[in-house]
Amino acid sequence: MSLLNPLTPLNPRILNWRGLRVWLVGASSGIGEALAHELLARGARVVLSARREDVLRKIADEAPDPQQVLVAALDITDMQQVLTAQRQVFERWNGIDLTIVLAATYQPMDTASLTIEAARPILRVNLEGVYNLLAALLPTLRRTRTGHLAIVSSVAGYRGLPRSPVYGPSKAALNNLTESLYLELRPLGIGVSLVNPGFVQTPLTALNEFPMPAIITPGQAAREILRGLSLGRFEIHFPARFTLAMKILALLPARLYFWLTGRITGASEKQHSSPGAEDPITPQQAPTADAEDQQPGQGPR
């Protein structure tokens, strides 16, 4: 495999879905549910995982052939549940060819409502959950030197965005993590893909009150993911008309990035209306560790 030859795909191409054993973690709604329907229609065998077992069973009931589908309910934040599901799934189907990790949670938040209590549940699902799954999967993948792992992150992880002090960083970490995994696992024969969607109309984005540019349906997102996997892509991002603009923004120097992103999102107007936003911090104004120690909870928020 030559990494430098642009004609060589970075991953093995998945060209035949019939009979492929696919584990979808986060399959009960949105993109995961659409992937389940799309994969089952293409003849793949699909394991459906998420917390809501009743919803997963309804999706399973729609499979063209009951032998094609397995339900393994789990909470990705619970290591024991993830391990138990992994053992059961691998025993039942004697292995898994492709695992797609979609489980995530999202809460728009500004810095005024940012607390560790608000951040922890998001980090636990979006980040710790992925590590739980990796801990359960990697020993087998490394031993058998087979399989493919696709981690669903987000373009929100490319650079910092306003009102996204937790979700964005959790996805930035996944982007970095997936590259790290690729470098180590690909030489062993294991495929590793990073999926970075733009806006998709799902329960996750239903909370957004702003207009979402270039938004697509979960079905379109699912087909883009399968297309990217069939082309052997490392990063599968879509829709291109939105993600390419995000990629260009990500290349800008900080000053230009902040100016442009502030204007596009309207964040700069709010920022400039706050008094002293541009004042330099003088030594007298800067809080000292001592001052904070003496007055717990009284420091600047």
Ligand X SMILES: NC(=O)c1ccc[n+]([C@@H]2O[C@H](COP(=O)([O-])OP(=O)(O)OC[C@H]3O[C@@H](n4cnc5c(N)ncnc54)[C@H](OP(=O)(O)O)[C@@H]3O)[C@@H](O)[C@H]2O)c1
Nearer to ligand X, 34 or 190 (CB): 34
Interacting residue with ligand X among 200, 226, 229, 236 (CB under 6 A) = 200
72 binds ligand X (CB under 6 A): no
Total interface residues for ligand X by CB under 6 A:
29
Q: Are 225 and 31 in contact (CB under 8 A)?
A: yes
d(CA 118, CA 215): 27
- Phi–psi pair at 139, nearest 5 degrees: -55, -45
Stretch of 68-76, 131-139, 240-248, 255-263 contacting ligand X, by CB under 6 A = 68-76
123 binds ligand X (CB under 6 A): no
d(CA 194, CA 235): 5
103 binds ligand X (CB under 6 A): yes
Going by C-alpha positions, the residue among 86, 75, 46 that lies closest to residue 222 is: 46
d(CA 42, CA 30): 19
Nearer to ligand X, 52 or 145 (CB): 52
204 binds ligand X (CB under 6 A): yes
Interacting residue with ligand X among 35, 100, 152, 166 (CB under 6 A) = 152
DSSP state at residue 68: G
Nearer to ligand X, 20 or 103 (CB): 103
- Give the contact letters, 24-63, x = binds to ligand X (CB under 6 A), - = no: --xxxxxxx-----------------xxx--x--------
SS3 255: helix
* Residues classed as catalytic: 167
- What residue is closest to ligand X based on CB? 30
Long-range contacts of 67-70 (CB under 8 A, 24+ apart): 68/40, 68/43, 68/44, 69/40, 69/45, 70/45, 70/46
- Contact set with ligand X (CB under 6 A): 26-32, 50-52, 55, 74-77, 102-105, 125, 152, 154, 197, 199-200, 202-205
